[in-house]
Chain A
Amino acid sequence: MHPLTYSRAADPAAAIAAHAQDPHLAFIAGGTDLLGLMKDRAALPDRLMDINGLPDMARIEVLRDGGVRIGALARMSDVAADEEIRRRFPVITESLLFAASGQLRNMASMGGNIMQRTRCAYFRDEDDLPCNKRKPGSGCAARHGLNRLHAIFGWSDECVATHPSDVAVALSALDAKVVVRGRNGERSISFTEFHRLPGNTPNRDNVLDRGDLIVAIEVPDRIEGRASHYLKLRDRESYEFALVSAAVAVATNGLRIGSVRLAMGGVAHKPWRLTEAESALRGVSLDDVQALRTAIATSFVDARPLAHNTFKIELAQRVALRAVQIAGARA
């Protein structure tokens, strides 16, 4: 790794000010993504500021309105073990447990998890292959290269990468909020607005600016939360990123779907919310497989495959279907 200096942030305001005025400073929490990026020379910060000592940022607490606030420094394993979250939002627990390994979950922070950068092999490669995310204007080696693992929704000729986080998919389905403290105070960003589509600026993964510090993730109380499920398909059974995944939360009247929340991973540059399918699934009976399939298909009208990932369009619909069935059986 390249030479760098290290400091510890003691106070959020000072950390934010330092980050705002110094483009070569990076915050580090768990470090599990940042160190990989630095070793692959996809991130070259001159100064690291360790934010692990910032107060009150690792707690998991129930809010007065029934929501749950997860501190940005809470570790994936702590959130996955949390009994309140397991009981009320199993989709969050499962999405965390199906990600990475026991060791990495003990290290990785929740804030860092949603800031993870893509696993696109061209982006991660040390040889500076064309990648607009890594070096704007250099092109996209994946667009006409090996793109079996890449996007089927929302991609551009400039970037066809997918977002790697699992828990971000669950949080998107639940319409969680990212609480950010910046130069002008604190603000809440809706999870579906947090990550960006690539367009012609794929170097920006999300809407954060310099001087922004994620302090927490807030999950509102959701009636669909208890009957929820995260289904992840991978090239190997464990310790792998998703080919395709689905986060589903459902509320039912008998066998009929009352309301459903549905988001997918491994298919786009951000967690992909299936809003058309959510509307179409309302009122459908959970034992009517054909009707479930037809409803889910409404969100795949604008799916566009690349040369090597046409299979994902059918696979994603089957994954969504099975996830709805499993979540429905929990209602």
Chain B
Amino acid sequence: MVYLFVRPLGRIGGTKNFHAGVELRPNEMNESDTEERQRDGRVHLSMKVNGALRSLKVEPRMTLLDALREELGLTGPKKSCDRGECGACTVHIEGRRILSCMTLAVMHEGKQITTIEGLERDGRLHPLQQAFIEHDGFQCGFCTSGQIMSALAMIQEAKAGWPSAATADVTKPFATADLSEAEIRERMSGNLCRCSCYPNIVDAVVDATRRI
């Protein structure tokens, strides 16, 4: 029996429930299950991350977020709630925004991943990064990489004509000109900011939408 993995907070009743550890069942690794070469419990994996082919070896249970941070040293995507509730871990897979804490690294063999580290070009910030600085779109900065990655893909979704819950009539085509502040707030609602910089974040996104 193995003991590991400490998670300090219980989810009901506040802070009273500290775990000493959780009992895990013995790992029933199946030798015949060699499709993914899991002999030592780890899987070889290659992904194109920020334009470069990267090879890594991960346990199948490792989230994409942990693989990016712990195996590839890309600490731009942040681990905050680790439950798909805050958006701080937002990255792009094949150009789409997703939450890297809610998917396993092994599921993305051969995929193109973009993190905040992949946005600058030749030392120049992406217009969206520049807009966040100019509009004071952050205080502590912990949610910022997720906000920016989310906003960038969100603008592409709007350009592709996707409606949102703020769209009055979903039966009509959505035009980029319809991307009001209310639309931006709704489309960005998956990214929480506990410093509550929302007004400035919206201003930054409005500004960047004109520049991108």
Contacts and interface: CB of A to CB of B under 8 A. Distances in A.
Contacts of A80: 162-163
B36 interface: yes
Contacts of A2: 24-25, 61
Contact of A102 (B7, B170, B190): B190
B107 A52 contact: yes
A36 B11 contact: no
Given A7-B33, A81-B163, A238-B165, A104 B84 contact: yes
Contact of A6 (B60, B90, B171): B60
Contact of B163 (A5, A28, A93, A104): A93
Contact of A81 (B36, B102, B162): B162
B106 to A, nearest CB: 5
B102 A238 contact: no
Contacts of B5: 1
Interface string B15-54: 0010100101101111001011010010100000000000
Interface in A113-147: 121-122, 124-127, 129
How many residues of B sit at the interface, in one of the four size bands?
A: 35 or more
Contacts of A93: 163, 170
Interface stretch (B92-100, B117-125, B204-212): B92-100
A7 B35 contact: yes
B203 interface: no
A9 B165 CA distance: 35
A1 B60 CA distance: 10
A294 interface: no
A101 interface: yes
Interface string B154-187: 1001001111110100110100000000000111
A238 B30 contact: no
B38 A6 contact: yes
B189 A238 contact: yes
Interface in A61-114: 77, 80-81, 83, 86-87, 90, 93-94, 97-98, 100-104, 106-107
A86 B170 contact: yes
Which DSSP category, helix, strand, loop or mixed, fits chain A's interface?
mixed
A57 B98 CA distance: 21
B28 A46 contact: yes
Contacts of A238: 165, 185-186, 189
A101 B96 CA distance: 13
Contact of B98 (A44, A103, A127): A103
Nearest to A24: B28
B156 to A, nearest CB: 11
A48 B167 CA distance: 38
Interface in B74-131: 82-84, 87, 90, 96-99, 101-104, 106-107
B33 to A, nearest CB: 5
Which of B5, B90, B106 gathers most chain A CB within 10 Å? Answer: B106
Contact of A3 (B10, B24, B187): B24
How many residues of A sit at the interface, in one of the four size bands?
A: 35 or more
Contacts of B24: 2-3
B140 interface: no
B197 interface: no
Given A4-B61, A6-B60, A106 B27 contact: no
B46 to A, nearest CB: 15
Contacts of B25: 2, 44, 46
B145 interface: no
A24 B28 CA distance: 11
Nearest to B62: A1
A39 B41 contact: no
A106 B87 CA distance: 13
Contacts of A44: 25
Given A81-B163, A121-B11, A7 B189 contact: no
A28 B38 contact: no
A40 interface: yes
A35 interface: yes
A278 B145 CA distance: 48
16 contacts: A5-B28, A6-B60, A8-B36, A36-B84, A77-B162, A93-B163, A93-B170, A97-B167, A102-B97, A102-B190, A103-B84, A103-B97, A121-B11, A126-B10, A238-B189, A239-B189
